[in-house]
Amino acid sequence: MVHDKEFEVYISYESILERTQEIADKINLDYAGKTPVFIGILNGVFMFAADLMKEIALPAEITFIKLASYQDTTSTGNIKELIGLRANIKDMDVIIIEDIIDTGETIAHVIKKLQELEPRSVEIATLLLKPEVFNKNIPLKYVGFEIPHKFVIGYGLDYNGQGRNLKDIYQIKEL
């Protein structure tokens, strides 16, 4: 139980690590001879980023950004600002690391902001993808698991702030 909802184990930590190793192997091959900059999107990605980076055998850099929402007083929209991005990604090969891509709104926003800084390339590595809801024309180069449109927690992912510390990924239990 987390808050009012019941969850059950969906992807074991063992399977996560196995798949993470496969993704790292691909990245190591694809970026051989390069020095990519990995940019993790907090908070949810902290566990995946840690396990992925341990298997990256490149002279890579890793940094993290956070999306902060605030109400702009001059517009009705909910503006999301990127916090913590080092400006110097110009002409660099960027790999964005995400825990989960749902509609793709978040990743689309992050890519738009990053492109303004003129990187040489931008690719995405996401542990989870919900293909039924993803509706963006954005190529996702590294995807860990495609999952149904059901809420998941654990391994960094939260439900109203809780569940991030769980080692496995859990899926909501529907009655």
Please give the positions annotated as active site.
102
Instruction: Show the binding pattern over residues 89-108: x = contacts Mg ion (CB under 5 A), - = does not.
Output: ----------x---------
DSSP state letters, 134-159: --------EEEEE--SS-EEBTTB-B
Residue 26 CB partners (closer than 8 Å, separation 6+): 142
Which CB atom, from 4 or from 32, has the smaller least distance to ligand IMP?
Answer: 4
Sheet holding 61-71, edge to edge: 78-83, 61-71, 37-42, 93-101, 121-129, 142-146
Helix axes 13-30, 46-54, angle to 10 degrees: 60
Which CB atom, from 93 or from 99, has the smaller least distance to Mg ion?
Answer: 99
Q: Which does 105 bind (CB under 5 to 8 A by kind): ligand IMP, Mg ion, none?
A: ligand IMP
Of 8-16, 38-46, 77-85, 144-152, which part binds Mg ion (CB under 5 A)? Answer: 38-46
Q: Which does 169 bind (CB under 5 to 8 A by kind): Mg ion, ligand IMP, none?
A: none
User: Looking at this protein, which amino acid is placed at residue 141?
Assistant: K
CA distance 168 to 159: 14
Q: Which does 157 bind (CB under 5 to 8 A by kind): ligand IMP, Mg ion, none?
A: ligand IMP
44 forms part of the interface with Mg ion (CB under 5 A): yes
Least Å distance, CB 18 to ligand IMP, is: 21
